[in-house]
Structure 1
Amino acid sequence: MKQKINLRYLALGLLVALSMMLTLGSCGSTASISGGLSDEAYVVLSANRTYINETVYVQIDAEESIPVKVVRDDKAARTGRRIVLKPGKHRIVVFDSAGKVLYNQHIFVSTRNAKTIVLP
């Protein structure tokens, strides 16, 4: 009789443990990935005539200048080099290898947008 009682308690304990595992097993944590648009804006240089395929230098907010090869205006969106910068207002100065200023203006670019600067 003692063995029957022990088996009952053992079976009852296993049943309780199994039901707890099934109940608590479904309360696991969830992993989530959040994504969004990167906080970047772009400047692309293009030209209609003179400076196509030439290297010019771009200075953003009086920082060090960046050499950029100029593409044709109609191909700027596909093949032009994008210069990445933070969205907002920036002072852009573009000059050629001789130091001649080709473009000197303040621009405003918003997140994920590209500003195309067309040189003469």
Structure 2
Amino acid sequence: MKRSIAALATTALVMTTSLVFAGGASAQTMDKVAKVGALGDQSGLYQDIGGPGSTVAAQMAIEDSGLLAKGWKIDLISADHQNKPDVAVNIGKQWIDVEKVDVFVDLAASNVGLAIANLA
């Protein structure tokens, strides 16, 4: 239980930090719109250290960031990569090309994280 809470707190911190950096990059374009993709293992081996809880933590971080009150529109989408790099890359390509996701969060498994890093 303590590990899950620590993982959620860490995810929230990383998410807030990501939004701050994404906010700085997006502020240059002045559109004040950001899309966050929580790509996690929602149903497999790593669901306890990320997964559904991480998606909730990302939403909480968006709300706590204070950017919504400053006129930002921040959308959160999530998907299950099933702990498979090929599935993650296909979702990542869709999110980058079609959904226009700005930030990826919840890449707890190294195989998926490295695959998305290569994609990005």
Q: Kindly indicate which of the two structures has a greater share of residues assigned to helix.
A: 2
Higher relative contact order (CA 8 A, sep 6+): 2
Note whether the superposition's TM-score is higher than 0.5: no
TM-score by length of 2: 0.25
TM-score by length of 1: 0.25
Larger Rg: 1
